A and B are shown apart, each in its own frame.
Chain A
Amino acid sequence: MFRVSPPFELKKLGTIFKYKVLKMLLNKGKITKVMIAMLSTWKYSGFHVFYGNRIAPLFFDAQYPLTIKNIPHIFSSTERNTLSIPSQYLINKIGSCCSKSGRIQLSNPGTNRRSIMNTPNGFHFRWRQLLIMAVALSLLMAQAVASQMMSVQVKSGQARKSPTFLGPVIADFAYGDRVQILTQQGAWYQVALPSGKGQGWMHMSALTEKKIVLKAGAKDVSQAASSDELALAGKGFNKQVENQYRTRNPNLDFRQIDQMEALTVSQAEIQGFIQDGRLTAKGGAQ
Chain B
Amino acid sequence: MNQISRREFLMLSGRLTILGLGAAAAGRLLAGCATLDSMAQSGITIPVAGVNVNTASIASSVKAVSKTFEDITPEQEYYIGRTIGAQILNKYRPYSKKAANRYINVMGQTLAQASDRPETFGGYHFLIQDSDEINALAAPGGLIFITRGMLRCCPHEDAVAAVLAHEIGHVQHQHGLQAIKKSRLTDALTTLAVEGTKTFGNEQLASLTTAFEDSITDITSTLINSGYSRAFEQTADVAAISILQRVGYNPNGLVDMLKQMDRQLKPGRLDFAKTHPDPQTRISQITSQIGVYQPVNLIKNRQSRFEAALKGV
Contacts and interface: CB of A to CB of B under 8 A. Distances in A.
A280 B248 contact: yes
B197 A221 contact: yes
B26 interface: yes
Contacts of A2: 2-4, 9, 29
A165 B127 contact: no
Interface string B37-56: 11101101010010100011
A55 B249 CA distance: 60
A223 interface: yes
Contacts of B39: 85-86, 89, 136, 140
Contacts of A155: 78, 121-123
Nearest to B32: A91
B110 A274 contact: yes
B188 interface: yes
B71 A228 contact: yes
B73 interface: yes
Contacts of B281: none
A98 B189 contact: no
Interface stretch (B231-239, B262-270, B298-306): B298-306
A253 B247 CA distance: 34
Contact of A92 (B31, B73, B208, B246): B31
Interface in A63-95: 78, 81-82, 85-86, 88-95
A141 B192 CA distance: 34
A222 B109 contact: no
Contact of A225 (B27, B190, B216): B190
Interface in B17-31: 22-23, 26-31
A234 to B, nearest CB: 7
B10 A96 contact: yes
Nearest to A166: B113
A225 B247 contact: no
B287 interface: no
B63 interface: yes
A253 B190 contact: no
A237 B78 CA distance: 9
Most chain A beta-carbon contacts within 10 A, residue among B107, B110, B188: B110
Contact of B38 (A50, A86, A208, A263): A86
A270 B247 CA distance: 11
A96 to B, nearest CB: 4
B301 A237 contact: no
A243 to B, nearest CB: 9
B125 A4 contact: no
Interface string B60-90: 0011110000011111101110110111011
Interface in A202-231: 203, 205-206, 208, 210, 212, 216-219, 221-228, 231
Given A122-B1, A226-B65, A273-B106, A279 B249 contact: yes
B132 interface: no
Given A205-B117, A248-B209, A4 B29 contact: yes
A206 B9 CA distance: 46
A1 B8 CA distance: 11
A223 B106 CA distance: 42
A44 interface: no
B55 A236 contact: no
Nearest to B44: A136
B28 A154 contact: no
A183 B58 CA distance: 39
Interface in A24-62: 50, 53-57, 60
Contacts, number: 299
Interface residues of A, number: 104
Interface in A124-145: 132-133, 136, 139-140, 143
Contacts of A50: 30
Contact of B89 (A203, A233, A257): A257
Interface string B105-118: 11101100111111
B197 A216 contact: yes
B85 A257 contact: yes
B248 A279 contact: yes
B55 A219 contact: yes
B197 A281 contact: no
A241 B209 CA distance: 5
A276 B157 CA distance: 13
A65 B157 CA distance: 50
B6 A99 contact: yes
22 contacts: A2-B29, A53-B28, A85-B38, A89-B34, A89-B39, A92-B34, A94-B30, A95-B49, A136-B39, A136-B42, A139-B42, A154-B120, A155-B123, A216-B197, A221-B194, A222-B59, A225-B193, A231-B75, A252-B86, A257-B86, A270-B109, A277-B299
Listed from nearest, the 10 A-B pairs whose CB atoms lie closest are A280-B248, A96-B49, A88-B34, A91-B32, A82-B38, A279-B248, A206-B119, A4-B28, A94-B30, A252-B86
Interface of A: 1-5, 7, 50, 53-57, 60, 78, 81-82, 85-86, 88-96, 98-100, 120-122, 132-133, 136, 139-140, 143, 153-155, 157, 165, 175, 187, 203, 205-206, 208, 210, 212, 216-219, 221-228, 231-242, 244-245, 248, 251-254, 256-257, 260-261, 263-265, 269-270, 273-274, 276-284, 286
Given A133-B46, A219-B55, A241-B79, 15 more contacts: A92-B34, A96-B10, A165-B113, A223-B35, A225-B65, A226-B65, A232-B73, A241-B209, A263-B125, A277-B302, A278-B248, A279-B302, A283-B114, A284-B115, A286-B246
